[in-house]
């Protein structure tokens, strides 16, 4: 197994910073480590078959529709585009079992950094970062979107009461530093 180096190595040491005052931090930041990431693209006429194959492989009832995700024992499926899913897992996953007649797969395991942001002020922070309304009524748990965060393309997943921000590894540190700078106004902790 290849050992993956974090794009945030040396920058994500646990600490508190910013305007915390007598209360607890308003923002909590951490890195989620994924061992596998696969982009799966279905051929248009094979979308249903590809979705069923991925649902079976991940152990979910059905592959998620656009803007949604589903988590099972085999990983988390994110519907990131009309014909594409991103399959991520904290465990190593070999090629998803997809017939070439149904679609194609691309391994992205080394290509993504995942930053988890949560806390009582997370919506205030994210409102400053992305041009979307991420309040629960508009973006419930499990929702997925592709957007821009400070002019960089990211995928956002509503997860565990906060947000996972999936960014290209080469931009991981830049996004981390932008989040750190903006989170300081709310008081923050790196876990």
Give the per-residue pLDDT at 120: 96
Give the per-residue pLDDT at 172: 97
Fold entry, domain 15-33+110-190:
Gyrase A; domain 2 (3.30.1360)
DSSP assignment of the chain: -PPPPPTTTTT---EEESS-TTS--SEEEEEEP-SEEEEEEE-GGGHHHHHHHHHHHHT-SS---TT-EEEETTEEEEEEETTEEEEEESS--------TTTEEEEE-TTSEEEEEEESTTHHHHHHHH-SS--STTTS-TT-EEEEEETTEEEEEEEETTEEEEEEEHHHHHHHHHHHHHHHGGG-EEE-
pLDDT tens digits, residue range 157-187? 999 999 999 999 999 999 999 999 999 999 9
pLDDT tens digits, residue range 88-108? 999 998 888 899 999 999 999
């Amino acid at each position: 197994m290849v050992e993956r180096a974090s794009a945030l190595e040396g920058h994500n040491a646990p600490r508190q910073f910013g305007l915390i005052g007598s209360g607890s931090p308003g923002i909590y930041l951490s890195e989620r480590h994924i061992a596998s990431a696969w982009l799966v693209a279905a051929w248009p006429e094979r979308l249903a078959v590809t979705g069923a194959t991925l649902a079976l492989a991940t152990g979910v009832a059905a592959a998620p529709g656009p803007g949604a995700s589903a988590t099972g024992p085999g990983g988390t499926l994110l519907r990131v585009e009309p014909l594409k899913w991103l399959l991520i897992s904290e465990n190593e996953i070999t090629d998803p079992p997809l017939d070439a007649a149904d679609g194609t797969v691309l391994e992205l395991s080394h290509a993504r950094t995942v930053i988890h942001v949560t806390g009582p002020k997370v919506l205030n922070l994210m409102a400053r970062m992305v041009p979307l309304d991420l309040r629960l009524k508009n973006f419930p748990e499990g929702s997925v979107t592709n957007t821009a965060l400070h002019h960089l393309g990211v995928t956002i997943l509503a997860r565990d009461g906060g947000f996972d921000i999936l960014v290209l590894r080469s931009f991981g540190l830049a996004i981390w530093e932008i989040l750190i700078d903006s989170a300081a106004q709310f008081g923050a902790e790196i876990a």
